[in-house]
């Protein structure tokens, strides 16, 4: 194993609370000179926000070690300067788009694209503006499709809910989804690591995101139980990761020892 692609929510932290062993796991990778990249479907924060948060909870890394769905969306629309974007989502996405000089629409009715991400500050008028953008012809792109994310106080409704609200009422379909397991995220991670997919392991708590990214790209997979999915969910989804543990520290230790964890 040459490179590590590591999820954040449910793997490294839950909101502002670090998960047991996460700091030690990253230190272990560094001590062994193993390159890693944090790859997260979070689209509602900017890389700067995320780096600050990681540093605050004691994870020492650089901004280029962090790739978010918001980063990927911003890079995508940076290449389409002639088109304007309306956002349904938190301020972090807007910051990331502005950092990439993306053209933001001044009114929903004038937008070429509606870009949807998680919106924890959502109001009805935000939802209605997004609806009107699509009614007036904006195409839909989304940072990710996740249905649920973990917070300290329990599971929370994710961007999938906002996407469904807009698509069900307008009849429009999503044109692009940037998050894991999309090739946008894969390419960005491998470019940062400068490695081939088959040399990498994906560590995460998500079945349709992290595990799926690994499966479709012939990467190794390592599943952690510290997030939203359980062993039962794994079985239901008929997914058999190569490694499994309660925390990222467990699986990193197993990977370094070359142990395939048996959990049947």
Give the distance from CA 4 to its chain's centroid: 15
By CB under 8 A, residue 163 contacts a second copy: yes
Instruction: Give φ, ψ of 210 to 5 degrees.
Output: -65, -55
What are 161's two structure tokens? 């809910």
Of the ranges 20-28, 159-167, 213-221, 247-255, which one interacts with a second copy (CB under 8 A)? 159-167
By CB under 8 A, residue 35 contacts a second copy: no
CB of 164 to a second copy, least distance (A): 3
By CB under 8 A, residue 160 contacts a second copy: yes
Number of shown-chain residues binding a second copy (CB under 8 A): 28
Which residue of 106, 152, 154, 232 would you call a contact of a second copy, by CB under 8 A? Answer: 154
Rg (CA), the chain: 18
117 exposure class (CB count in 10 Å sphere: 0-12, 13-18, 19+): buried
CB of 16 to a second copy, least distance (A): 17
Of the ranges 153-161, 179-187, 191-199, 234-242, which one interacts with a second copy (CB under 8 A)? 153-161
* CB count in 10 Å sphere of residue 118: 29
By CB under 8 A, residue 208 contacts a second copy: no
CB of 117 to a second copy, least distance (A): 12
Q: Quick one: three-class SS letters along 163-189? A: HHHHHHHHCCCEEEECCCCCHHHHHHH
- Under a CB-based contact definition with an 8 Å cutoff, are residues 109 and 138 in contact? no
Q: Tell me the C-alpha distance between 54 and 12, whole Å.
A: 9
By CB under 8 A, residue 158 contacts a second copy: yes
- Under a CB-based contact definition with an 8 Å cutoff, are residues 5 and 37 in contact? yes
Angle at 93 between CA 118 and CA 75, to 5 degrees: 120
Strands 200-204 and 36-40: unpaired
Which residue of 56, 101, 169, 175 would you call a contact of a second copy, by CB under 8 A? Answer: 169
Among positions 116-135, residues that touch a second copy (CB under 8 A) are 119-124, 127-128, 131-132, 135
Q: Tell me the C-alpha distance between 48 and 70, whole Å.
A: 11
Which one, 52 or 151, has the nearer CB to a second copy?
151
By CB under 8 A, residue 167 contacts a second copy: yes
By CB under 8 A, residue 165 contacts a second copy: yes
Which residue of 56, 155, 175, 260 would you call a contact of a second copy, by CB under 8 A? Answer: 155
Of the ranges 80-88, 149-157, 210-218, 235-243, which one interacts with a second copy (CB under 8 A)? 149-157
Q: Residue numbers of the site for a second copy (CB under 8 A)?
A: 119-124, 127-128, 131-132, 135, 147-148, 154-158, 160-169
């Amino acid at each position: 194993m040459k490179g590590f692609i590591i999820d954040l929510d449910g793997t490294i932290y839950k909101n502002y609370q670090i998960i047991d062993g996460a700091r030690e796991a990253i230190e272990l990778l560094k001590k062994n000179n193993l390159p890693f990249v944090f790859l997260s479907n979070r689209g509602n924060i900017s890389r700067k926000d995320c780096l600050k948060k990681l540093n605050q909870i004691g994870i020492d890394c650089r901004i280029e070690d962090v790739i978010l769905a918001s980063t990927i969306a911003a890079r995508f629309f940076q290449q389409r300067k002639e088109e304007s974007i309306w956002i349904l989502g938190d301020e972090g996405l807007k910051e990331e788009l502005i950092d990439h000089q993306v053209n933001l629409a001044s009114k929903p009715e004038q937008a070429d694209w509606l870009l949807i991400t998680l919106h924890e500050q959502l109001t009805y008028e935000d939802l209605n503006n997004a609806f009107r953008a699509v009614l007036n012809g904006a195409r839909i792109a989304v940072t990710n499709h996740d249905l649920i994310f973990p917070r300290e106080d329990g599971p929370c409704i994710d961007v999938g809910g906002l996407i469904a609200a807009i698509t069900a009422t307008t009849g429009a379909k999503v044109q692009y989804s940037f998050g894991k397991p999309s090739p946008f995220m894969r390419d960005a991670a491998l470019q940062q690591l400068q490695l081939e997919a088959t040399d990498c392991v994906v560590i995460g708590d998500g079945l349709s995101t992290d595990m799926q990214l690994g499966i479709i790209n012939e990467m190794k997979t390592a599943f952690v139980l510290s997030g939203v999915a359980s062993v039962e969910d794994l079985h239901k989804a008929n997914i058999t990761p190569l490694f499994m543990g309660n925390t990222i520290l467990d699986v990193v230790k197993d990977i370094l020892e070359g142990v395939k964890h048996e959990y049947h």
